[in-house]
Amino acid sequence: MEYVTLSNGVKMPMVGYGVYQVTPDECERCVQDALKVGYRSLDTAQSYYNEEQVGNAIQKSGVPRQEIFLTTKVWVEHYGYDAARASVLKSMEKLQTNYLDLVLLHQPFGDYYGAYRALEDLYNEGKLRAIGVSNFYPDRLVDLASFARIRPMINQVEIHPYHQQTESLVWMDKYHIQPEAWAPFGEGRGGLFSDPTLAAIGQKYGKSSAQVILRWHLQRGVVVIPKSTHKERMEQNLDIFDFTLSSEDMTAIEGLDKKQSAFFSHQDPHMVEWFVQLVEQRKAKQE
């Protein structure tokens, strides 16, 4: 495993296991499989509705808690100081732990300043080892990094060969914020896994296109959290430390950048309205 050292000195595995879209029915088994094959970083979120299953899997795995780098994210309906603080403590209960290695604000909407102040206080109290954000574009990231008491240590965003986020990475580097890819494969959209450039590079090293993509991320200094429900693929996603892409390979992959999201833009007002509606719907269900 390769590690990155965050701005506060905390070490984080470069490859973790993400449980986005892993159903509660499958999650406990998948996390146990991931820990068995060697993953020591797990990424979940309040909005995934599987924190309890992740916590159960950790307890049953036999892997000491201190060997696991555990991340969760605060959802928008819990923004604001009091709600965010309460939600993080609730997440800790569900995950059956008295501390979290990393907590992120999941989206750049609503009272994220109030929510971030809650993370700062929980960090200062020793309940969180690192804090950060997710889906923050450079303008909002620089704003928060400049005015918060504690600069975010991570920004988890969409990064893959078809959306390389080159400018965003420059800004993260300037403010010493570690980039992390929440969609390292772009979910295979646009035929990414069958891209001839990636396939040709993989053939040189006896690796799959997926393994080439993950290696490319690591060589750019980007943390990845690939998701799979298949144990064999989990193993393949870890089998990326025995080869190095050449500068020619990296240049070839650089040429694949389409410079646009494979999903959506957080700067699109229609998308912002969709998030607002989603938050309102979830609040209505809880009432």
- Fold annotation for 3-286: TIM Barrel (3.20.20)
Residue 143: is its pLDDT beyond 90?
A: yes
State residue 287's pLDDT score.
64
**pLDDT at residue 264 above 90?**
no
Predicted confidence at residue 279, as pLDDT, reads 85
**Contact of 138 with 107, CB cutoff 8 Å:** no
Three-state secondary structure readout of the chain: CCEEECCCCCEEECECEECCCCCHHHHHHHHHHHHHHCCCEEECCHHHCCHHHHHHHHHHHCCCHHHCEEEEEECHHHCCHHHHHHHHHHHHHHCCCCCECEEEECCCCCCHHHHHHHHHHHHHCCCECCEEEECCCHHHHHHHHHHCCCCCCEEEECCECCECCHHHHHHHHHCCCEEEECCCCHHHHHHHHHCHHHHHHHHHHCCCHHHHHHHHHHHCCCEECCCCCCHHHHHHHHCCCCCCCCHHHHHHHHCCCCCCCCCCCCCCHHHHHHHHHHHHHHHHHHC
Place of tokens 């929440």: 182
Q: Do residues 20 and 45 make contact, with C-beta atoms less than 8 angstroms apart?
A: yes
Q: Tell me the mean pLDDT in the region 170-177.
A: 98
User: By percentage, how much of the chain surpasses pLDDT 70?
Assistant: 99
Cβ–Cβ < 8 Å for 167, 139: no
- Alpha carbon of 154 to those of 33, 73, 133, 136: distances in Å? 26, 12, 6, 10
> What pLDDT is stored for residue 111 in this prediction?
96
In the block, residue with structure tokens 């991570």: 154
Q: Are 68 and 41 in contact (CB under 8 A)?
A: yes
Question: How much is the pLDDT for 191?
Answer: 94
276 CB-near residues (< 8 Å, 6+ apart): 109
Over the stretch 196-207, which tens digit does the pLDDT of each residue have? 999 999 999 999
Compute the average pLDDT of residues 177-189: 94
Contact present, 286 and 90 (Cβ < 8 Å): no
Residue 281: per-residue pLDDT: 84
Least confident of 92-101, 107-116, 266-275: 266-275
* Confidence class for position 278, pLDDT limits 50, 70, 90: confident
106: annotated binding-site residue? yes
Residue 48 annotated to the active site? yes
pLDDT score recorded for residue 282: 81
pLDDT beyond 80 at 118 = yes
Percentage of residues in the chain having pLDDT higher than 90: 91
The arithmetic mean of pLDDT across residues 57-66, rounded, is 96
Query: Across residues 45-72, what is the average pLDDT?
Result: 96
Residue whose tokens read 């309890």? 52
Alpha-carbon span 113 to 109, nearest angstrom: 10
Contact 224, 238 (CB under 8 A): no
Residues 6+ apart with CB under 8 A from 29: 57
From 17, 39, 48, 112, the catalytic residue: 48
The predicted model scores a pTM of 0.95
pLDDT digits (tens, 9 = 90+) for 77-91: 999 999 999 999 999
